[in-house]
């Protein structure tokens, strides 16, 4: 079918047990010139050990500043099928749940308007439609919105928020990750579609400290489930684990990071005042243990990859807050953060770099939050304190 | 104004509720626990019943043909309901336990693998590479395919000490955010940008370009009366941030671009705190289509880890227990000056105690 391709290096990747993207793209080559030339250009990259895509390109759909990534081949004469190869980021449903009925509408639109290639999904969470021509962008957008789909973010805007499977299929979800993800995405459509921030702002939402969306590493703002009270114990299920001969001492007790678990026969004793909610015991004993009842989320800010000032994990800004509809407390927090960052951040400065530059103390003051010991690993170990209160001789005015 | 169908904007994504299986809707927020029914198969037990998950590999870069094949299987076995995971696995959500085996057989007949749960290697999170990106130092899809062909047995089994998360990013921008993975494969440039002084004055804003460099290596200069920039090559660490803001400063260099290997990162809070990945191998050559140097290096790290870590110990936790000197001894990886950090806060990685093993 695709004999005229002449891609011997890529053909090598049709072999082996892992599913082959080459075989898959070839399945489109019969009907899509785009797929053919993509393979041909990729073969050339494999020969020459370099990419052949131009840098960016300002394309989009009317009225939006984000959601489309312009891409042009650097060798359009040689590979005309991919002279334009733009990407549309389609905002995924919360938790990446689909019905075949709904997704078939998208595959049909994409067969008609684009290359037929997708990423399920992009790193930020979007359903990525990979490769189309400039003149197809607006018709694709219209067809998508007709069926109830919209674009996600790109550039210096709110990036498409994403969340874990949450209460839809996980017993550890400490709040409704899907509902707040849906709410925030709809609440901030303008910020999502029209880049007006200093730089990108990613929100990731995980229902417990297992953090399946990698919020602590990959999001400017992480909303991560946590609880405050005691781990719930099902004594009968616990006794069954003991009776099964499982090495509870070795696998659970000795792996507790604060040593707050003890066994008394078939009974588990947890010193909850010293529990750091790491999830290990709950993960190993899912039938017997579950998060407490007083549930909410910790909010982290500032995670990012290395560019520019080095990689950062998010750090705790709000140690605990309730996450409940209609989520107004969260809207208020987000808007206070954006306002201060917008006012004082510099161009292409992520929120994590911004906080490091202005200091956490200044940032907290700026957003109207009080410093708390849960926000740090340890107090400062240097004496360079900017004292703001001091006494003055009478008549000279102190502060 | 509108002549035909009104143009809609800012409608946001559709509600997830319409995509939830009836059993999921009934038990939403009421799941009690889950059972592991073997590699790739989970049972979540709720108040009114169970939902069975069958997790399946995916190259992430998939065609509509691929998706239609997946959807045919979902129509046949899971009432049309399915989802994707944060690591791009496909999950079929089954009401009927009897459908698990026939679904698995048909998945495998279609060239896919069932697995990726618990103490397994899950799908590799990765980036676009030469398939779609202008700044890639290597390909992503081909690397992932080559590595997973070698490691497939760790996807379809649960024989590792703990879960093992592998990620690929094709340059330091790290769209794949590989900085917190058990094993990270990172494309690297190793030479400074090549400045196109003809196009730069028209394409790039000089102050933005100068400011983009974290090491202040870029300075404005004038060539034939036109303002352009020069790079102090001794200060350049090839991060590519200048290229992001200035297209006239490409870094691609087929002779020198390649791949580095990083180990020991984690995201979840279980037992130990989240950790960054640390440099294991500074450079391996780009050798498409199979990258044999990369696949054998990754496989070796996985095998040493599998043989030596304790149950539930992630790669980073295992290395912290045995110490980095032992990791380099056991893996046979050469320790070089490139392993010594020289960026911001480098000193925090120096040994500031006598806690060494001899």
Contact A42, B130 (CB under 8 A): yes
Residue of A nearest to B212 (CA): A308
CA-closest candidate to residue B259, choices B87, B348, B62, B127: B127
Q: What's the pLDDT at B176?
A: 72
As a whole number of angstroms, the distance between CA A165 and CA A207 comes to 8
Contact A256, A280 (CB under 8 A): yes
C-beta atoms of B63 and A35 within 8 A? yes
As a whole number of angstroms, the distance between CA B353 and CA B274 comes to 23
Domain spans, chain A: 3-146, 162-228+294-367, 232-290
Q: In Å, how far are A5, B223, B229, B239 from B197, measured between CA atoms?
A: 37, 8, 8, 20
CA–CA min distance B11, chain A (Å): 6
Residue with tokens 């007790």, as numbered in its chain: A253
Chain B residues near residue A200 by CB distance under 8 angstroms: none
As a whole number of angstroms, the distance between CA B300 and CA B217 comes to 38
DSSP structure class, residue B318: H
- The answer to whether residue A31 neighbours chain B at the CB level (below 8 Å) is no
CA-closest candidate to residue A37, choices A52, A48, A47, A49: A52
> If residue A261 lies in a helix (H) or strand (E), which one and from where to where?
strand A261-264
C-beta atoms of A280 and B271 within 8 A? yes
Q: What's the pLDDT at A3?
A: 60
CA-closest candidate to residue A170, choices A297, A283, A333, A292: A283
Among A1-15, A302-316, A343-357, which is the least confidently predicted range?
A1-15
Chain A residues near residue B57 by CB distance under 8 angstroms: 18-19
Test mutation, B15, B124, B135, B177, chain A, max A CBs within 10 A = B177
C-beta atoms of A118 and B252 within 8 A? no
- Please give the ipTM for the structure prediction: 0.96
Between CA A208 and CA A217, with CA A211 as vertex, the angle to 5 degrees is 140
- In total, chain B counts a number of residues equal to 358
C-beta atoms of B212 and A348 within 8 A? yes
C-alpha torsion sign, points A274, A277, A282, A288: positive
C-beta atoms of A255 and B312 within 8 A? yes
List, in order, residues 6 or more apart from A15 with CB less than 8 Å away: B149
Q: What's the pLDDT at A29?
A: 87
In percent, the amount of chain A with pLDDT more than 90 equals 93
Given CATH 2.40.160.20, say whether it is the number of domain A3-146.
no
C-beta atoms of A48 and B145 within 8 A? no
CA atoms within 13 A on the CB side of B153: 7
CA–CA min distance B27, chain A (Å): 8
In total, the C-beta contacts within 8 angstroms joining chain A to chain B are: 341
Q: What's the pLDDT at B4?
A: 66
CA-closest candidate to residue B128, choices B140, B118, B116: B140
Token duo for residue A126: 């979007």
Using only C-alpha atoms, what is the Rg of chain A?
A: 26
Chain B, residues 79-138, CB within 8 A of chain A, namely: 80-86, 88, 90, 93, 111-113, 125, 127-136
Between CA A179 and CA B12, with CA A331 as vertex, the angle to 5 degrees is 50
Mean pLDDT across chain A: 96
Residue of A nearest to B123 (CA): A18
Among A27-41, A117-131, A249-263, B139-153, which is the least confidently predicted range?
A27-41
Chain A residues near residue B128 by CB distance under 8 angstroms: 119
Using DSSP, state whether B226 is helix, strand or coil: strand
Q: Which CATH number fits domain A232-290: 3.30.70.20, 3.30.1490.190, 3.40.50.300, 3.40.630.30?
A: 3.30.70.20
Q: What's the pLDDT at A257?
A: 98
C-beta atoms of A51 and B134 within 8 A? yes
Residue of A nearest to B147 (CA): A18
- The answer to whether residue B220 neighbours chain A at the CB level (below 8 Å) is no
Residue of B nearest to A109 (CA): B64
- The answer to whether residue A372 neighbours chain B at the CB level (below 8 Å) is no
Q: Do A232-290 and A162-228+294-367 fall under one CATH topology?
A: no
Reading chain B (358 residues) residue by residue, the pLDDT tens digits are: 445 678 999 999 999 999 999 999 999 999 999 999 999 999 999 999 999 999 999 999 999 999 999 999 999 999 999 999 999 999 999 999 999 999 999 999 999 999 999 999 999 999 999 999 999 999 999 999 999 999 999 999 999 999 999 999 999 999 877 999 999 999 999 999 999 999 999 999 999 999 999 999 999 999 999 999 999 999 999 999 999 999 999 999 999 999 999 999 999 999 999 999 999 999 999 999 999 999 999 999 999 999 999 999 999 999 999 999 999 999 999 999 999 999 988 999 999 999 998 8
- The answer to whether residue B146 neighbours chain A at the CB level (below 8 Å) is yes
Chain A residues near residue B41 by CB distance under 8 angstroms: none
As a whole number of angstroms, the distance between CA B54 and CA B39 comes to 9
- In total, chain A counts a number of residues equal to 399
Q: Tens digit of pLDDT for each residue in A308-320? A: 889 999 999 999 9
> If residue A266 lies in a helix (H) or strand (E), which one and from where to where?
none
* pLDDT above 70 (res A24): yes
Phi and psi, residue B245, nearest 5°: -95, -15
C-beta atoms of A280 and B267 within 8 A? no
Q: Is A73 exposed, middle or buried (0-12, 13-18, 19+ CB in 10 A)?
A: buried
Superfamily of domain A162-228+294-367: Sulfite Reductase Hemoprotein, domain 1 (3.30.413.10)
- The answer to whether residue A63 neighbours chain B at the CB level (below 8 Å) is yes
C-beta atoms of B271 and A255 within 8 A? yes
Residue with tokens 């054998």, as numbered in its chain: B296
């Amino acid at each position: 079918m695709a004999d005229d391709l002449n891609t011997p290096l890529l053909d090598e990747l049709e072999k082996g047990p892992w599913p082959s993207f080459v075989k898959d793209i070839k399945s489109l080559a019969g009907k899509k010139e785009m797929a053919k030339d993509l393979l041909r250009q990729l073969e050339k990259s494999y020969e020459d050990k370099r990419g052949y895509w131009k840098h960016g390109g300002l394309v989009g759909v009317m009225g939006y500043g984000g959601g489309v990534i312009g891409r042009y081949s650097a060798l359009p004469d040689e590979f005309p099928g991919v002279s334009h190869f733009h990407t549309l980021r389609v905002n995924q449903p919360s938790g990446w749940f689909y019905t075949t009925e709904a997704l078939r509408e998208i595959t049909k639109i994409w067969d008609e308007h684009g290359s037929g290639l997708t990423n399920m999904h992009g790193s930020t969470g979007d359903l990525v439609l990979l490769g189309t021509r400039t003149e197809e962008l607006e018709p694709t957008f219209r067809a998508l919105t007709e069926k109830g789909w919209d674009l996600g973010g790109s550039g210096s805007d709110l990036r498409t928020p994403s969340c874990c499977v949450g209460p839809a299929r996980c017993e550890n979800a400490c709040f409704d990750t899907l509902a707040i993800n849906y709410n925030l995405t709809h609440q901030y459509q303008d910020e999502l579609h029209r880049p007006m921030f200093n730089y990108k702002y990613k929100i990731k939402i995980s229902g417990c400290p297992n953090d399946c969306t990698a919020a602590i590493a990959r999001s400017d703002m992480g909303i991560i489930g946590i609880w405050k009270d005691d781990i719930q114990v099902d004594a009968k299920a616990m006794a069954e684990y003991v009776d099964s001969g499982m090495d509870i001492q070795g696998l659970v007790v000795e792996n507790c990071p604060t040593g707050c678990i003890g066994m008394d026969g078939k009974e588990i004793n947890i010193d909850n005042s010293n529990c750091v909610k790491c999830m290990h015991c709950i993960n190993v004993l899912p039938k017997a243990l579950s998060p407490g009842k007083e549930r909410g989320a910790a909010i982290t800010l500032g995670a990012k990859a290395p560019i520019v000032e080095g990689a950062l994990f998010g750090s705790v800004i709000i140690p605990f807050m309730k996450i409940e509809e209609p989520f107004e407390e969260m809207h208020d927090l987000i808007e206070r953060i954006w306002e201060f960052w917008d006012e004082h951040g510099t161009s292409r400065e992520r929120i994590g770099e911004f906080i490091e530059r202005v200091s956490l103390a200044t940032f907290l003051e700026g957003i109207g939050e009080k410093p708390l010991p849960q926000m740090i690993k340890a107090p400062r170990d240097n004496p360079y304190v900017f004292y703001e209160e001091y006494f003055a001789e009478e008549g000279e005015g102190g502060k | 104004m509108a002549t035909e169908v009104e143009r809609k904007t800012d409608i946001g994504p559709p509600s997830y509720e319409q995509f939830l299986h009836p059993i999921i809707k009934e038990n939403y927020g009421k799941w009690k626990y889950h059972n592991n029914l073997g590699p790739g198969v989970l049972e979540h037990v709720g108040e009114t019943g169970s939902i069975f998950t069958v997790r399946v590999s995916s190259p992430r870069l998939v065609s509509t043909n691929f998706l239609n094949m997946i959807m045919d299987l979902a129509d046949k076995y899971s009432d049309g309901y399915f989802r994707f995971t944060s690591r791009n696995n496909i999950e079929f959500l089954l009401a009927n336990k009897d459908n698990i085996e026939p679904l698995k057989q048909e998945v495998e007949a279609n060239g896919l693998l069932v697995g990726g749960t618990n103490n397994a290697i899950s799908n590799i999170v990765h980036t676009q590479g030469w398939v779609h990106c202008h700044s890639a130092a290597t390909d992503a899809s081909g690397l992932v395919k080559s590595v997973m062909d070698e490691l497939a047995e760790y996807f379809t089994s649960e024989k590792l000490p703990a879960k093992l998360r592998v990620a690929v990013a094709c340059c330091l921008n790290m769209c794949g955010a590989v900085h917190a993975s058990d094993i990270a494969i990172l494309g690297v440039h190793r030479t400074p940008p090549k400045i196109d002084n003809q196009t730069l004055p028209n394409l790039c804003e000089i102050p933005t370009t100068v400011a983009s460099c974290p090491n202040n290596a870029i300075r404005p200069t004038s060539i034939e009366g036109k303002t352009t920039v020069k790079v102090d090559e001794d200060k350049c660490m090839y991060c590519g941030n200048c290229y992001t803001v200035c297209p006239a400063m490409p870094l691609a260099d087929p002779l020198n671009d390649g791949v580095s290997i990083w180990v020991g990162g984690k995201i979840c809070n279980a037992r130990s705190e989240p950790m960054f990945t640390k440099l294991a191998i500074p450079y391996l050559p780009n050798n498409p289509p199979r990258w044999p140097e990369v696949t054998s290096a990754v496989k070796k790290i996985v095998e040493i880890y599998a043989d030596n870590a304790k149950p539930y110990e992630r790669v980073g936790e295992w290395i912290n227990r045995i110490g980095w000197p032992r990791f380099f001894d056991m893996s046979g990886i050469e320790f070089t000056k490139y392993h010594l950090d020289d960026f911001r806060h480098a000193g925090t990685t120096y040994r500031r105690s006598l806690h060494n093993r001899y």
